[in-house]
Amino acid sequence: MSYAIVHYPNINTEDINQIRQKYDPQVYLIEPHITLVFPIIESINENNLILHIDNILSKWKTFPICLQGLQKSWDEYLFLMVEEGKVDMIKLHNELYTGILAQYCRENLPFIPHLTLGRFTENIAQFLQLLEEAQQLDLNYRCFVNKVHLINIADEQRSIIWSKKFVLRN
């Protein structure tokens, strides 16, 4: 079992899912999302985690983001990038990784706010196909980060057991 914190953008995800169904191995595990806290596999007290998230988010107001532009990651993923709102997403990510989550922060990997479109193997042809399909769709979305979700994932089943919604202030 593991926990993660994600934002599900309030956008039409039809085009994104068209790509994800071909290229994203997690398409049936989770809806299109922006990960703020990556899965924590170790045991952590759920109530303390909820209190921590509540405490951090009590200081946050809803903010706009724009998803636009593509970027290849170092680990063979294609990202739809957060352009507008990127600084706020990084700040929120950094604040969530304080307190009881501080020990889980991956200092060696800079946080890049994004929505994953797909994963490709070392096969360059597969990457070029994925990139071409994404470029043709001209993905460009505006929405607000007004809530985040704590999700509990069953590792052995690769399914989400439950999700708790946290709403940011207006």
Q: What is the mean pLDDT of each run of 10 residues along the chain (170 residues)?
A: 95 97 92 96 91 98 98 93 98 98 92 95 83 94 98 79 93
Closest residue by Cα to residue 19 from 117, 123, 127:
117
- Cα-only R_g, the chain: 16
Angle between helices 86-96 and 46-57 (to 10 degrees): 140
Can you tell me the distance from the alpha carbon of 135 to that of 70, in angstroms, rounded to the nearest whole number? 8
N residues, the chain: 170
Q: First CA to last CA across the chain, in angstroms?
A: 33
CB 132 within 8 A of CB 115: no
Q: What is the pTM of this model?
A: 0.94
Can you tell me the distance from the alpha carbon of 18 to that of 133, in angstroms, rounded to the nearest whole number? 10
Q: What is the per-residue pLDDT for 159?
A: 84
Q: What is the per-residue pLDDT for 156?
A: 61
| Residue 155: burial class (beta carbons within 10 Å; 0-12, 13-18, 19+) | exposed
Q: What is the per-residue pLDDT for 121?
A: 77
